[in-house]
Amino acid sequence: MLSNMQREEEAVIDASNLSSFELNQMILDEVRKGRRRIRVLNVLGHRFIGANIAALAPEGTTITLIGTVGDCLANFNQRINFIVQGNCGDDLADTMHGGRVIVYGDVRDVAAQALQGGVVFVRGSVGNRAGIQMREYLDRRPYFIIGGGADDYLGEYMAGGVIIILGLTRSSRRRVVGNYIASGLVGGRIYIRSRVDDSTIGVQPPKEDIQLYLSSLVEEGVLEQSTYLKIVSKTDFSYYRLREELPTPAFERIRRFYTAAHAEPPSSEYRELNTEEERELGPILQDYVITFNLPHQTLEETLTSKYTIISSSR
């Protein structure tokens, strides 16, 4: 075994000519020796990094990866700190229970799937289905913070934890998030530092079907013509808008279009953080700003901005 001084010395591995299997074996060998700091150079699409040491590496082990990391980094992670100085492939931090994952670039699809502990910080943007099936247990709440934006199905089937989309690196002409946000969400919260159209939250039925059914309610006398015309004059046929503007009998008839195949769409509101949220999220956002060495004013901006806050309607 290594001495305490040797454990703190950084082991350096050159991945240039290594397969994914060979690289993971070399990392495992260093961990078994007791090494707590490992730096891997020239990473080029290597996959499954960290999966074979999730339960072996001691608290405080840090693995720094230089290059482009492949799929399935930090799956099942429990206590390791992963630092990626580059971009990541799919399925980052799948079923992670603890530890930290810091990515200085972008991440592709299905990042932080079933994340249930620890933190994942991404400086850039993420692809489709980020944060799906996230969950929390007792006081173990995961945090997933994305500096840029996210594509479709953000937080799908989410059951716990917190996702924050900061929109720091996006183009002013591009939406921060895609469509079908929080589809099937039953727990947890999503904070998006931008106003989000209700029509992009959850899975919405086709507008043509809704309009046709509303027309039939007018013919039945359940809905007044004036109310019908007011509703169809806008493009927003979202669940909560219809609940607000339709009389109860008409809404009860049409709500089945939104809940037959899916749970009731999650609720959303556009506002500043309240005192309790500032107390919870302030240290996490401060950690994010310090980690990426961002200007101090970024912390103030993110704490005082308005967010679209999406949570379970139950």
Q: Does residue 173 surpass a pLDDT of 60?
A: no
Q: Does residue 279 surpass a pLDDT of 90?
A: yes
Q: How many Cβ atoms sit within 10 Å of the Cβ of residue 126?
A: 29
User: Of all residues in the chain, what percent carry a pLDDT higher than 70?
Assistant: 95
CB of 162 closer than 8 Å to CB of 191: yes
Q: What is the pLDDT of residue 33?
A: 92
Radius of gyration (Cα) for the chain, nearest Å? 23
Taking the whole predicted model, whether its pTM rises above 0.85 is answered as yes
Nearest C-alpha neighbor of 70 from the set 53, 51, 55, 56 = 51
Q: What is the pLDDT of residue 188?
A: 96
CA 92 to chain CA centroid, nearest Å: 11
DSSP letter (8 states) at residue 56: T
User: H or E element: which one contains 145?
Assistant: strand 143-146
Q: What is the pLDDT of residue 311?
A: 94
Highest mean pLDDT among 2-11, 218-227, 250-259: 218-227
Name the band, by pLDDT with cuts 50, 70 and 90, for residue 138: confident
Length of the chain: 314
Q: Does residue 259 surpass a pLDDT of 80?
A: no
Summarised one tens digit per residue, pLDDT across range 140-171 is: 999 999 999 999 999 999 999 999 999 997 65
Residue type, 78: Q
Q: Does residue 172 surpass a pLDDT of 60?
A: no
* Bigger pLDDT: 256 vs 285: 285
What CATH number should be reported for the domain whose range is 4-200+267-311? 2.160.20.60
The tokens for 243 are: 């609940």
What average pLDDT does the structure give for the chain? 92
Summarised one tens digit per residue, pLDDT across range 20-30 is: 999 999 999 99
Q: Does residue 111 surpass a pLDDT of 70?
A: yes
Dist. CA 227–CA 191, nearest whole Å: 33
Summarised one tens digit per residue, pLDDT across range 77-86 is: 999 999 999 9
CB of 300 closer than 8 Å to CB of 282: no
Dist. CA 39–CA 143, nearest whole Å: 25
Bridge partners (DSSP) listed for residue 175: none
Q: Does residue 6 surpass a pLDDT of 80?
A: no
Domain range annotation of the chain? 4-200+267-311, 207-259
Name the band, by pLDDT with cuts 50, 70 and 90, for residue 206: confident
